[in-house]
Structures are given as structure tokens and as C-alpha cells.
Structure 1
């Protein structure tokens, strides 16, 4: 079994257009060329009283006639940042499509951060009223850096980034690193989350909180909010949104912990149109109607923004299909590199 290290993965990712890969995955998902089982989650409290969990997220996707199967195992402890460790880490395993045997193991950190950022960037491009000029982020960890690095390399329109973190030094360090690379962008460390969010064209919370704090009135008309984290948005941010978009409805429906999943279980969220059945709303009108899945927007089966003033919330739960597809792409890039190197040496 081939093993690719964190450094191997980081080098290979530079050769891949992540936004294009996640777009192709969504198109495959829209045309039933994927298998997306429910994820399995093991949760426990460690000896320090901190919440820990292990996720196993399998998937199979067919792109350009090639099927890739595998799983991501990602473990996290909420106390890790205080230990100087990443909150989460894990591996992606790839399977031989014929024998089902393991063929490759690779570090998941860069893949997970990269595909998460790519989904957010793609969603923003599909739903913004105009190319973003200002971005507000809450959280200054690896996900924030992955989002900003990808977005600022793609979007020449951005002029301002406002970044808040509970540990302000983290936000300062991140803005300093990015400021050295993106010199046309003004980076500001916001002293509060509200200062980061208000008046931003694009809002991206990337924290580990399980307590909501972003109300609807912080979000300006026309804003796209990509709710990457677990529970940063308060319920009214969903209920007043002109559109709520998800990556995959089945993940929302199966979830018991995150806000949108809990709201669905209490009868406050109506599925996107193609997942609705007669009487789905029950005895009362739900507070939130999910407008579409991202694959519907990409395939053209659903319409996105209707007005420049629409407040749009995108709530991606995270699809293992993207991790598996990106890992498959890196695996083949690695083999192509070896083939070229071998041929050149010969």
C-alpha cells in the first residue's frame, strides 16, 4: 500500500484545481454517479473533560469514466489547539475498485482543508451578486488560512479582509503571513466577531464553537454566508435568509448535533424541493425552506440568487465524496509523476 505523507500531499495539491474537482463531484452527484453512505461517528469525553470524536466518512464517485472509492477517518479533540496541536487530523484511504483492497493511505489535513475551502469558494461564485470585495472571517486557524489563500488567488476583486479570533494573536499572525503575499488586500484584525461580519460581502465562520453567536441583523443585504463551522449562526440567521442552500440534504436529515439538523428534526426545516414528499411540512409551516442543494445549482436544475439584496446562507455539512475524489486525483498525479520520472531516467 502506498503511503503519502503530509508533505507529499501538500506538494501534489499544488498541481490540482480543487474548485474544478469539487465542481465535478457535485455534477457526478447530481447524475447519480456517486455513493454517499451515512457517516459513522464515535464520540467520547477524554480524561480532561474535553469532547472528542472520530468520523468515518466513506464514498464512491465516478468522474470521466473513472470510479474512485475510499474513506476519510478524521479525529478531533476540542482541547488540541491549547496543546499546540491541530484540532483535527486523520487519513484518507483509497480502495482498489476491483479487489476492494487498500491501495493508498494519505494524510487528510491538507485535503480536508483544501476541499472545504474549494466548496466555499465555489458556492460564493455561484451565489454572489457581484465578485466579493470584502470578506469577514471568524476563526484564524488552518481552515481560515486555506479559505483565504484559495479565494485571494482566484479573486482579484477583494480589497478588504476582516478577521476575528478569540485569541487575537492568532488573527494577527495570520494577517501578517497573508499580507506578505497579497499586498493589494487590506487585512484588519477585528476585536469582535460582529466587526468582522457586519457589511462584509462574504461571511465565513470557521470556528469550533457549539454555541451560536451570529444573529440575522449582523448580516447585510446581499451577503453570502458560508456556514462552514458547526453552530456559529443563530436560528434567526436561517429563518430570515432569502435562500438556504446545503451541499447534500441526506447529511442534514441524518445529523443530530448541528443546528440545521436539529431544526429539521424539530420540524422547522423543509427539505429542498426534490426531496419533499406530500405532507412533508407537517401540521405547521416550517421556519426554513431549503431552496436547493449545491449540485442542483451547478447542474442547472435550480436557480440561485434572485435579487442583489438577497441574504443567502450556504450550510455545507461536508461530503466525503470530495475528500475521496481529491485523494484519487493526488494518487494518480503521484503515479504520473513516477512514470514521467522513470521514463526520463531511462
Structure 2
């Protein structure tokens, strides 16, 4: 089995257009060329009273006639930053699709951060009224840096980035690092989360909070909010949005801990149109109606923004298909990994995505 370190992966990721990869994954998902099981999650409290968890996120995706199967295992402890360690880390494992044997292990941190940022950037490009000039980011860790670095490389329109972190020194250091590279952008270290996001055209919260704090009235007309962390928005930010978009409804509906999943379980969320049942037609109007999944927008099955003033919230739960596809791209295209003979040309019906 080939093993790649974080440094190996970082070097290879520079050769890959991550936004293009996640777009192709969404198209495959729209066309039932994926298998996306529910993730499994092990949670515990450690001997320091800190919350820990281990996620196992398998998936299979077929792009351009080539199938890639694998899983991401990523563990986290909320106390790690105080120890000088990354909050989360793990591996992506790739499988031979014929023998099911492990063929490659890759450090997951940069793949995970890169594909997460790519989904957010793609969602913004699909849903903004015009290329963003101002971005508000809450949280100044590795995920914030991955988002801003990718966005600023792609969007010359951006003139202002507002950053807030509970540890202000982190926001200062990130602003300084990015400011050295992106000299046409003004970086403002905001004194509060409200100051960071109010009146910006794109809001990206990337924190570890489990308590919401962003209300609807912080979000200006026309703004796209990509709820990366999943718990930063308050319920009225969803109910006050003109559109709510998710990456994969089945993952949101199965979740018992994050806000939108909890709201669904309490009857406050209507699924996107192609996931609705006859019983949904007779329900009282819920607080939130999910308009579409991202794959529907990319495939043309659903329409995104209809007016420049719409407030749009994107709630990307996180799909292992993207991690597996990115890792597969590195393995096959840049490391000489070979497909094995005996490939099937269809997915078994009971295994198909959605």
C-alpha cells in the first residue's frame, strides 16, 4: 500500500483544480454514478473533559468512466489547539475496485480543507448576484485560510476581507499572511462576529462552535452565506432566507446533532422537491423549505438565484465523495495508480446514491 504524508499531499494538490473536481462529483451524484452511505460517528469525552469524535466517511464515485472507492477517517479533539496540535486530522484510504484491497493511504488534512473550500467557492459562484467584492469570515484557522486562499486566487473582484476569531491574535496572523500575497485586498480584523459579517456579500463561518450566534438581521439582502461549520447560524437565519441549498439532503436528514437536521426532525424543514413524499404535500408550511441540492444547480435541474436581493444560505454537510475523488485524482493522474481489470459498468440499484 502506498502511503503519502501531509507534505506529499500538499505538493500534489497544487496540480489539481479542486473546484473542477468537486463540480464533476456533483454531476456524477446527480446522474446516480455515486454511492454515498451514511457516515458513522464515534463520540466521547476525554480525560480532560473535552469533546472528541471519530468520523468514518466512505464513498464511491464514477467520473469519466473511472470508479474510485475509498473512505475518509478523520478524528478531532476540541482541546488540541491549546496543545499546539491541529483540531482534526486523519487519513483517506483508497480501495482497488476489483479486489477491494487497500492501495493507498493519504494524510487527510489538506484534502479535507481543500475540498471543503472548493465546495464553498463553487456554491458562491453558482449563487452570487455578482462576483463578490467583500467577504466576512468568522474563525481564523486552517479552514479559513484554505477558503480565503482559494477564493482570492480565483476572484480578482474581492477588495475587502473581514476576519474575526475569538483569539484575535489568530485573525491578525492570518490577515498578515494573506496580506503579504494579496496586496490589492484590504484585510480588516474585526472586533466581533457581527462586525465581520454584517453587510458583506459573502459570509463564511468556519468555527468549532455548537451554539448558534448569527441571526437573520446580520445578513444583508443579496448575500450568500455558506454555513461551513453547520452550527453558526441561528434558526431565524434559515427561516429568513429566500433560498436554502444543501449539498446532499440524505446526509442532512440523517444527522441528529447539527441545526438543520434537528429542525428537520422537529418538522420545521421541508426537503428539496425531488426528495418530497406525498405526505409532505399535506403538511403545514414549515419554517424552512430547502430549494435544491447543489448537484441540481450544476446539472440544471434546479434554478439558483432569481433576483439580486435574495438572501441565500448554503448548508454543505460535507460529502466523502469529494475527499475520495480528490484522493483518486492524485493517485491515478499524478502517482501512476492503475485501474484494475474486471471493472463493472453499473452500480447495483440498492447501492446507488441519493
Deviation at 1:284, TM superposition (A): 2.5
Residues 162, 188 of structure 2: 8 Å contact kept: yes
Deviation at 1:332, TM superposition (A): 1.7
Q: Unaligned stretches of 5+ in structure 2?
A: 335-343, 348-354
SS at match of 2:314: strand
Query: What is the alpha-carbon distance in structure 2 between the residues aligned to residue 24 and residue 53 of structure 1?
Result: 30
SS at match of 1:245: strand
Deviation at 1:82, TM superposition (A): 1.1
Residues 226, 313 of structure 2: 8 Å contact kept: yes
Residues 213, 234 of structure 1: 8 Å contact kept: yes
Query: What is the alpha-carbon distance in structure 1 between the residues aligned to residue 29 and residue 92 of structure 2?
Result: 20
Residues 35, 59 of structure 2: 8 Å contact kept: yes
Q: Deviations over 1:234-256 (max 9, x none)?
A: 00000010000000000011000
Query: What is the alpha-carbon distance in structure 2 between the residues aligned to residue 336 and residue 4 of structure 1?
Result: 30
Residue 55 of structure 2 is matched in structure 1 by 55
Query: What is the alpha-carbon distance in structure 1 between the residues aligned to residue 28 and residue 75 of structure 2?
Result: 28
- The structure 1 segments of at least 4 consecutive aligned residues displaced by more than 4 Å after TM superposition are 335-338
Residues 230, 315 of structure 2: 8 Å contact kept: no
The more displaced of 273-282 and 291-300 is 273-282
Q: Matches of residues 1-346 of structure 1 in structure 2 within 5 Å?
A: 1-280=1-280, 283-334=283-334
The more displaced of 99-108 and 276-285 is 276-285
SS at match of 2:53: strand
Residues 208, 230 of structure 1: 8 Å contact kept: no
Deviation at 1:84, TM superposition (A): 1.1
Residue 341 of structure 1 is matched in structure 2 by none
Q: Deviations over 1:106-162 (max 9, x none)?
A: 000000000000000000000000000000000000000000000000000000000
The count of residues paired between Structure 1 and Structure 2 equals 338
SS at match of 1:21: helix
Residues 270, 281 of structure 1: 8 Å contact kept: no
Residues 215, 234 of structure 2: 8 Å contact kept: yes
Deviation at 1:281, TM superposition (A): 5.9
Residues 27, 298 of structure 1: 8 Å contact kept: yes
Deviation at 1:283, TM superposition (A): 4.5
Query: What is the alpha-carbon distance in structure 2 between the residues aligned to residue 336 and residue 268 of structure 1?
Result: 40
> Measured at CA, do residues 336 and 326 of structure 1 come closer, stay the same or move farther in structure 2, by a change above 3 Å?
farther
The more displaced of 218-227 and 78-87 is 78-87
Q: When the two structures are superposed, what TM-score results if normalisation uses the length of structure 1?
A: 0.96
Query: What is the alpha-carbon distance in structure 2 between the residues aligned to residue 261 and residue 82 of structure 1?
Result: 30
Q: Deviations over 1:151-187 (max 9, x none)?
A: 0000000000000000000000000000000000000
Query: What is the alpha-carbon distance in structure 1 between the residues aligned to residue 319 and residue 345 of structure 2?
Result: 27
Q: Deviations over 1:318-346 (max 9, x none)?
A: 000000000000112339999xxxxxxxx
Across the aligned residues of Structure 1 and Structure 2, the Cα RMSD in angstroms comes to 3.0
Query: What is the alpha-carbon distance in structure 2 between the residues aligned to residue 336 and residue 307 of structure 1?
Result: 42
Q: Deviations over 1:208-261 (max 9, x none)?
A: 000000000000000000000031000000001000000000001100000000
Residues 212, 234 of structure 2: 8 Å contact kept: yes
Deviation at 1:317, TM superposition (A): 0.2
> Measured at CA, do residues 336 and 77 of structure 1 come closer, stay the same or move farther in structure 2, by a change above 3 Å?
farther
Query: What is the alpha-carbon distance in structure 2 between the residues aligned to residue 86 and residue 274 of structure 1?
Result: 39
Query: What is the alpha-carbon distance in structure 1 between the residues aligned to residue 306 and residue 45 of structure 2?
Result: 45
Q: When the two structures are superposed, what TM-score results if normalisation uses the length of structure 2?
A: 0.94
SS at match of 1:279: helix
Query: What is the alpha-carbon distance in structure 2 between the residues aligned to residue 307 and residue 85 of structure 1?
Result: 44
> Measured at CA, do residues 336 and 12 of structure 1 come closer, stay the same or move farther in structure 2, by a change above 3 Å?
farther
Query: What is the alpha-carbon distance in structure 2 between the residues aligned to residue 143 and residue 35 of structure 1?
Result: 26
Query: What is the alpha-carbon distance in structure 1 between the residues aligned to residue 154 and residue 345 of structure 2?
Result: 26
